[in-house]
């Protein structure tokens, strides 16, 4: 299995909901540090262990579970520098899911 195109790189991930992350991937793509630099949660950071694989040329789905229990899945298109991000989390009314899109800019 080849390493994802994001391996060993850092990106600004700007989400359509106004949140901005700095995502730094480890050299083989199995480590990710994401820091919220704008929007809700600004100043927070977490290291996670994404599972990623190339699904099609230049397209890498990656998923992980955060300490809060939030499940996150990204479909990264390295050719168009876009991401579809799906996350699920608990609310007082039960588990909900949200789909967002965003863009990547290499730092």
Q: Look up the domain containing 62 and give its range.
A: 10-106
Contact, 24 vs 6, CB < 8 A?
no
In a domain, 5, yes or no: no
Contact, 60 vs 4, CB < 8 A?
yes
End-to-end CA distance of the chain: 26
pLDDT exceeds cutoff 80 at 2: no
C-alpha–C-alpha distance, residues 99 and 29, integer Å? 23
> Which residues, listed in sequence order, are joined to residue 74 by a DSSP beta bridge?
62, 85
Higher per-residue confidence, 2 vs 29: 29
pLDDT, tens only, 9-59: 899 999 999 999 999 988 887 899 999 999 999 999 999 998 877 888 888
In a domain, 19, yes or no: yes
pLDDT exceeds cutoff 70 at 1: no
C-alpha–C-alpha distance, residues 41 and 107, integer Å? 21
C-alpha–C-alpha distance, residues 97 and 77, integer Å? 21
pLDDT, tens only, 62-88: 899 999 999 999 998 988 999 999 999
Q: How far is CA 96 from CA 36, 46, 93, in A?
A: 21, 21, 9
pTM score of the predicted model = 0.85
In a domain, 59, yes or no: yes
Number of domains in the chain: 1
In a domain, 4, yes or no: no
In a domain, 70, yes or no: yes
């Amino acid at each position: 299995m080849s390493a994802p195109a994001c391996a060993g790189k850092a990106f600004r991930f700007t989400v359509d909901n106004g949140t901005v992350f700095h995502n730094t991937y480890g050299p083989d793509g199995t480590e990710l540090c994401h820091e919220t630099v704008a929007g809700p949660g600004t100043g927070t950071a977490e290291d996670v262990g994404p599972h990623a694989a190339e699904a099609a040329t230049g397209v890498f789905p990656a998923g992980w579970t955060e300490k809060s229990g939030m499940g996150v899945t990204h479909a990264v298109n390295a050719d168009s520098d876009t991401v579809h991000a799906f996350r699920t989390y608990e609310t007082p009314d039960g588990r909900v899911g949200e789909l967002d899109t965003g863009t990547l800019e290499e730092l």
